[in-house]
Amino acid sequence: MSPSIEQLEQMVADLLAEARKLGASAADAAVSSSAGLSLTVRMGETETIEHTRDQGLGITVFFGQRKGAASTTDLSPAAIREAVGKACTIAKNTSEDDCAGLADATLMAKDYPDLGLHHPWPISPDEAMQTALQAEQAARDLDPRISNSEGATLSTQSGSFIYGNSHGFVGGYPSSHHTLSCVVLSEDGDGMQRDYWYDTRRDWRKLATPESIGRQAAQRALAKLHGRQLGTRQAPVIFRADIAPGLLRGLTGAIRGHAQYRQASFLLDSLGEQIFPDWVEIREDPLIPQGLSSAPFDNEGVVTRPKSLVENGRLETYILDSYSARKLNMQTTGNAGGVRNLSINNGSMGLDEMLQEMGSGLLVTELMGQGLNPVTGDYSRGAAGFWVENGKIQYPVEEITIASNMKEMFRQLLAVGNDNDIPGSIRTGSWWIENMTIAGS
């Protein structure tokens, strides 16, 4: 059986005690344990049933200003002793680092809210199969050109995690995560296309219906049929809402403290600078109830708070943990472990109105490859989508690339749509960028 919260707390306490015994001046530890089910059906039949059971523990020890870390998936006392011992050995070999250490004790989350992250799904493999089958069947029934399926998958996980450190902080909470996805193929003579749709929630009762997920997967795959290349040109580009989160991740990657102090960012030293048009507001809210990335404290025990990253188009803050904050002579922003629940303000236009406003240009619905250079901001990626003329979609396009520089793209943001009902932890509508280079035939 999975260990209880009390057992996990005891494990963290034992780990910290073991580290102290071995001479560590400070330490922190995190332990997690989860169990779940992942079931895939394909072409009307069960394909795989996976019973997942994950556990793990990580410890960081400090010997003065030297640091060492270790992790293990084996939680037996022998393995734990080995891991702590190894972390201590490593700490004797790393360098003195002025900035190393735990976050300040005064910043620890004292009382923190219950964010309602735990909603275990008492679902049997049979019921899971039925749900997945409904999604796949809805996709296959939508149109005879849905010729094949990669399957529908239901996965559900629930577990607990505890973090503690030698300031005496111990905190943790249970959480759950449920996802239903469907991938199908369309075909009609001149080739096959594949697309997917999904939903993911903390509370399984909030998941979109299997039928709607299946239908959307099928509609997306059908819309891609008969794609053609475009001629090479420059044109305005709209990134549809479901792929727009990647642009916000480009921003957060560039304003991470780590990228700033290493001078490896295309937004180097841009605190207070105008990086977007002045109507743009970008916020992080780690405390959204049932939020997919919500957390009451960060990976160092520091209390998390909602904040503006961009206000009136200006960069308000970097994204810092205690280490990068010390490197930059700043204060941690409670972002050890990353950014939690981002959103951008939207205008009043839906996607159709944005296409109308744009007149002619490219609607991008799919991106391929990792073509962002984090140091220069140069952006060049494979893309597919639709060519738009007279404000209406004309035909699907594929095998093209779009290129610009991310700094330019941010400055050239003309509008964000109100079509922000997308799955995941980032809330954004579609982004309309004034001009990019499209390469094709």
* Of 263, 406, 251, 249, residue with least CA distance to 324: 263
Q: Is 382 in the site for another protein (CB under 8 A)?
A: yes
Closest to another protein by CB, 27 vs 115, is: 27
Site track for another protein across 207-226, x = CB under 8 A: -----------------x--
CB of 83 to another protein, least distance (A): 6
Query: Which phi-psi region, left, alpha or beta, contains residue 142 (left: φ > 0; alpha: ψ -120 to 50)?
Result: alpha
Q: Which is nearer to another protein, 87 or 115 (CB)?
A: 87
Q: Which residues lie across from 146 on neighbouring strands?
A: 186
Rounded Cα distance, 367 and 50, in Å: 30
CA–CA distance, 398 with 386 (Å, rounded to integer): 8
Q: Which residues, 6+ apart, have CB-to-CB distance to 334 below 8 Å?
A: 107, 286, 297, 298, 302, 303, 304, 305
Q: How far is the CB of 254 from another protein (least distance, A)?
A: 13
Closer residue to another protein, CB minimum distance, 160 or 346: 160
Residue in 329, 400, 333, 327 with CA at minimum distance from that of residue 362: 400
- Segment holding 381, helix H or strand E: strand 378-389
Q: Say which residues have a Cβ less than 8 Å from residue 102's Cβ, sequence separation at least 6.
A: 26, 28, 62, 165, 166, 167, 300, 301, 322
Closest distance to another protein from the beta carbon of 193 (Å) = 6
CB of 373 to another protein, least distance (A): 6
Which of these segments, 135-143, 273-281, 331-339, 369-377, binds another protein (CB under 8 A)?
Answer: 369-377
Which lies closer to another protein via its Cβ, residue 105 or residue 268?
A: 268
x-or-dash pattern for another protein, window 299-338, by CB under 8 A? Answer: ----------------------------------------
Calpha distance 159→246 (Å, rounded): 28
Show the binding pattern over residues 63-82: x = contacts another protein (CB under 8 A), - = does not.
----xxxxxxxxxx--x--x
Using a 10 angstrom Cβ sphere, with 0-12 exposed, 13-18 middle and 19 or more buried, the burial of residue 110 is exposed
Q: Which of residues 255-294 bind another protein (CB under 8 A)?
A: 262-264, 268
- In whole angstroms, the minimum distance from the beta carbon of 88 to another protein comes to 10
d(CA 327, CA 54): 35
Shortest Cβ distance from residue 53 to another protein (Å)? 7
Q: Which of 162, 238, 433, 438 binds another protein (CB under 8 A)?
A: 438
Q: Is 376 in the site for another protein (CB under 8 A)?
A: yes
Q: Are 260 and 374 in contact (CB under 8 A)?
A: no
Closer Cβ to another protein, 44 or 289, answer by number:
44
79's CB contacts (< 8 A; 6+ apart) are 72
Residues composing the chain:
441
Could you say which residues in the range 104-123 bind another protein, by CB under 8 A? none
**Is residue 405 part of the contact set for another protein (CB under 8 A)?**
yes
Q: Kindly indicate which of the ranges 159-167, 352-360, 365-373, 411-419 contains the residues binding another protein, using the contact rule CB under 8 A.
A: 365-373
CB-nearer residue toward another protein: 111 or 190: 190
Q: Which of residues 83-102 bind another protein (CB under 8 A)?
A: 83, 86-87, 89-91, 93-97
Structure tokens at 394: 């004309």
DSSP result, 119-170: ------HHHHHHHHHHHHHHHHHH-TTEEEEEEEEEEEEEEEEEEEETTS-E
Residue 148 C-beta: closest distance to another protein, Å = 6
- Please say which residue, 55 or 130, places its beta carbon nearer to another protein: 55
Within 126-185, the residues that bind another protein by CB under 8 A are 148, 150, 185
Q: Which pair of structure tokens corresponds to residue 419?
A: 């079509």
The pattern of x and - marking residues 13 through 52 that bind another protein according to CB under 8 A reads -----------------------------x--xxxxxxxx
Which C-beta is closer to another protein: that of 134 or that of 186?
Answer: 186
